[in-house]
Chains A and B, each alone.
Chain A
Amino acid sequence: MSKRILIVEDTEDNRRILRDLLAHSGFEICEAHDGRAAVTAAAEFKPDLILMDIQLPILDGYEAIRHIKANTATQPPPIIAVTSYALSGDEEKAWAAGCDGYIAKPFSPRQILAKIRELLE
């Protein structure tokens, strides 16, 4: 049974890259365009891993992570924060929000795939 991954990303191109990459790699994909949709999708789709962009409309990534961590009755899935805020402190913020991985944009698809595989093992 293939693993399910929730992609939270507001830019279509970046979403497509992840979709193409992950679909090609045999993952089942669900996508969310904003933070609120991400929270809903996390509850309904029950992904095995979440790729979470931080700069999102409506609810930002950190908020969404907080909601997901709070709402899920069962063990929350691993979350990888994908941020284009490469300023100092972003990574710390991501860890503080309870992320399991951190990838700065622009990311290398290979690198992201490696990270996902590492976390899903």
Chain B
Amino acid sequence: MTSLRSTETRKVSSPKRSLTLLTLRKIAIRISLVVAAATIMSYWHVKTGFEQQATESLERYVEQRRVRESAIFDLASSNIRTFSDSYLREISQMDPQGAEQRFAALFEQRADGTTRLTENVFRTYGVTGFIGKHVMLERDLKRRLVVAFDLITQFGPAWKSQFANLYVMTPEGAVLMYWPDQPWALRAGDWEISGKLHLLSDKKDGVLVANTPSTGNSIKERWSELYFDYGINDWLVSVTRPALLDGRPAIQIGQDILVHDLIGRAVSTDLDGTYNILFSEEGRIIAHPRFMDAIQARSGSLPISDTGDPQLEEIHRLTIDRPPQQTIVRSDSTNQVIAVTKLSGPAWTLATVYPLDLAAQSAWKTARLILLMGALALVLEIAILSSTLRSQIAVPLRLLVRATSSVAKGQFKTHLNLKRDDEIGELAEAFTTMARQIDARETALSERSASLAKLNEELAHELSERERAERELARHRELNALLDTIDYGILFLSPDLKIRLANRAYKEMWVVPESQLAKGTPIRDVIAHHSRAMGIETEYEDAFIERSMEDIRHCDESPIEIQSPNNHVLRYHCVALADGGRMLTYVDITEQKRALDAIALAEQRQRRLLELAPFPLVVTRMSDGRILYANARTAEAIGLTQEELRGTAAPNYYANPADRERILRILSQEGRAQDVEVLLQRHDGRKFWALVNASFADYESSPALLFAFNDITELKQRETQLKQAKKETEAVLRDLNAVLETIQYGILFLDPDFHVRLANRAYREIWQMPEGFYDKPRSLEDDMEKSRKLGSYDVSDEDWEAYKAKRIGEIKSGVTTMTEMRLKNGQVLQYRIIALPDGGRMLTYFDITDLKRFEDVLRQAKEQAEEASQAKSRFLANVSHELRTPLNAVLGYTELLIDGLYGSLPEKAHGVLTRVQINGRHLLALINDILDLSKIEAGELLIAAEPYSVSDLVHAVVTTAEPLAKAKGIVLKVSIPEALPLGSGDERRLTQVLVNLVGNAIKFTDHGSVEVIAGVEDGRLKIAIKDTGIGISPKDQKLIFEAFQQGSNAVNGGTGTGLGLAISKRIVQMHGGTIHVHSDVGQGSTFTIDLPLDTRVTEAA
């Protein structure tokens, strides 16, 4: 039955994949493959055919072109050869006398110096001729020209139809030109003619150069390059050939060939899709459909390499590389076939390019047609096949399917008659037979099923009975297990007070052997066991048993505690059961009892602790706030005894009762109140501040509050004082901060743990620290890292860690040296670490960038000054040398002359030479003084500060001056005290000064004396030079110390340089001294110099 039902649900539906479709698809694929293969094969075949055909026709075509295009060049060659032959023949027969006359008749001399054929000749023969003005009209030339003229008039008209012209040139530069349309040489200028000649000349073989014998016997025609003649507006190629007479070129015969048509033909094509290229052997393009303009622009000379066309270059390369006889070249890279041929004449190469794509295109057309036909055939075939398959196979098969599904539904009386005798007919018949057999078997099967169902029902009932019994048994077992797991000892008794059940806990509590607890054992026996276990004396045993039995019978409801073996305390309870039985339970409460005892002990201990606490402690009842307990300290604080305090209301002791509410609120919110400041009041009303701590507590098993407090009145007072002090400190700090913020020193304060305590404005500005950076705690390292991130440090990444460690190390060591620090932005900081008394540090930074810059400028200025000074010094040395060298010669020769080294001199000459010598020496003195002065001015003169003896100095000077004074009859006196301290200065220079002053004094004194007086006055050395000379006027006194000034009384032509006093004054000043003059005209002068003394030693006389 079931199997049938499930089949029904499957239903008859059309198959997922149609057989017809499948078959058709397979056939279609196969036919498509065949068509595709045929298409490819035909494409290939046709393409190859076309290519071959194209190549063959190209070959033919190119050969035809060659023949056709070469014809004109061949003709030109043959023409000039004929001309040449005729010329050589004619010239041998020419009568020289006749030639002279003929020449005179044909040519005329023009005003410009040239000789030309007359205009009449041009009109008659169409020939023009030109002989340059520098050409010697020799007889031989005339003869050659006349013969040439005759031949040109003879051949020219005959060839006119195919060639533009015919001309003859001589090596001397004479030209004859047959060109009826162009009166070419009639009017043309010298340069036009020579232009043409030049064009036709070949520098390499020098055909047109006179007196150059042609080498060998090879008479070669020469083809010019292609060129565009703008005169006739056409492309031309010229061919020339020399005619040799006695091995030398007599004339050069030439013809210009119009190649316009040739190029036109070359560029246009006869074959579809192909194009032609004409190029010369040198690789110049002559004709190309795309480059004609470019060719013309380059005067017919366009190298292939200049086109920039790689395809063209490839073609050129291939044509060059090919074997000479091969006409067809294939270019794989450009996919082209190129037919190449060489034209005769100028030896141009004609290349016809056939792109292979053309063949491929034709082949593709054919292949496409085949493909189309194949596709059409495929469609038709599939249509026919489809209809056949449907009528012959699909319809009968569907009938068969329908019959099968009705059999599946249980309708076995199906008859399938397809009336066919093929395979499908046979299948239908076999199916009908099968259906009938299944029908018969189905009927027998349903009868047997009915009897089996009945038997089944009986079996099921029996089974359910058995299951119920088993469930009960299991429940019983579970109860037992449960009883065994609980810790209550349980004993179930039947109504007749016999054991029904005893659980594990009971057995363990009472240590009863299993055998005595068997079901049905009288309870009395068990109780007897209890009595023994509880250690009841034998004599009371019976009474115990009786009382116990009585209890059980009456089943007293309240539980009692009994002592079990092993000193365990059991709570025993007897419960009456509904069926008249009893349940006895035993609970072990030994542990409970023990815990209770422990609590009692703990409370006692707690109380003792409270009592011992070194601060006031109070316990109040939560419900009404009454004091349950107060320790001795509390009593002391409040001013009552402990006993008096107990039972009083805690709120009484609050100065402000709201405070208690506050504490309770804190307690309820946080579970405990900690350090709450509260004003409390003693029993006598005195108030005091207390710090209160409170928490919940259990006191003698009831909820209570525990308060602890401290008298902090004194603390409060101190706090107020502190607050005041703090306020004052803050004010000071504020002022200090204001100062710190305004000063230009960047200051960083560090804590003893090297955290930033404060960074003032200048610091933040110098280091460009961002706003608010110091709002967070920052360590010294944070600060440095930040500055580094800001790019302040001029330290490379590699060196950073070492640098930082060094800086931090320095700061920690607290060494207070002052250092300079250069930041990356060029700022220079003066940096100092100062250790603070609290272990912290103060770092100060002072921006000295400007100072440094100033310092640099100063240093530079100083260096420049020093350099200038050195230069000056060098200059002085050179001047000194340069001046002294010639002076040396003057003075030397003079002295030798005076000394008679060069023979004796007339007296007069001797006197003059003496003057020369005196003047020379004066000049030397002048030079020396000027140099000295310059040295002083340049700061070049260095003054030593050595101790010297004044006495020695003065005496030395006086000794040198003595002869001079004697000569003038003057007394020279020295006045020096015995013990004079040593002077300090440059002895040599001071000698110079004294020599000058003493010398001057003698010079300006004619009578009397000169006295040198030395002494000490006010710790200074004074040296006076006093004379009795002419004196100096007050006006002159102001001038004499200036350079180049002498007093108006100075002797003319004297020996003074006028620099002596100026130098002396400078030297004295450089010693830190002064020089003065005191003088009255006619009375004499006194020069006083004031100099420092040597402070170290005193001269010992």
Q: Residues on A close to B: CB < 8 A?
A: 11, 13-14, 17, 20-21, 24, 55, 84-88, 104-110
Contact = CB atoms under 8 A, between A and B. Distances in A.
B877 interface: yes
A105 B884 contact: yes
Contacts of A11: 885, 888-889
B722 interface: no
B893 A87 contact: no
B895 A110 contact: yes
B892 A14 contact: yes
Given A17-B893, A84-B880, A84-B881, A106 B901 contact: no
Interface residues of B, number: 26
Interface of A, secondary structure class, is: loop
B901 A108 contact: no
A86 B942 contact: no
B980 interface: no
Contact of B928 (A13, A21, A86, A110): A86
B896 interface: yes
B899 A17 contact: no
- Among A11, A20, A24, A84: residue with most chain B CB under 10 A: A84
Nearest to B888: A106
Contact of A17 (B877, B884, B892): B892
Nearest to A21: B896
- Among B876, B884, B886, B935: residue with most chain A CB under 10 A: B884
A104 B892 CA distance: 13
B891 interface: yes
B287 to A, nearest CB: 81
Nearest to B882: A84
Contact of B876 (A21, A84, A87, A108): A87
Contacts of B893: 13, 17
Contacts of A110: 895, 899
B880 A85 contact: yes
**What are the nearest 3 A-B pairs in CB distance?**
A13-B889, A106-B888, A17-B892
Contacts of A86: 880, 884, 928, 931
B924 interface: yes
B360 interface: no
A21 B893 CA distance: 10
B244 interface: no
A106 B899 CA distance: 17
B880 A87 contact: yes
A55 B890 CA distance: 19
A56 to B, nearest CB: 11
- Among A55, A88, A104, A105: residue with most chain B CB under 10 A: A105
Given A20-B896, A85-B881, A109-B895, A14 B888 contact: yes
Nearest to A107: B888
20 contacts: A13-B888, A13-B893, A14-B888, A17-B888, A17-B893, A21-B901, A24-B901, A84-B884, A85-B880, A86-B931, A87-B876, A87-B880, A88-B942, A104-B884, A105-B887, A106-B884, A106-B888, A106-B924, A107-B891, A110-B899
B942 A109 contact: no
Interface string B635-665: 0000000000000000000000000000000
A106 B891 contact: yes
Nearest to B876: A87
B885 A84 contact: yes
A55 B935 CA distance: 20
Interface in B824-877: 876-877
Given A21-B901, A110-B899, A14 B880 contact: no
A11 B896 CA distance: 17
A114 to B, nearest CB: 13
Nearest to A87: B877
Contacts of A20: 896, 901-902
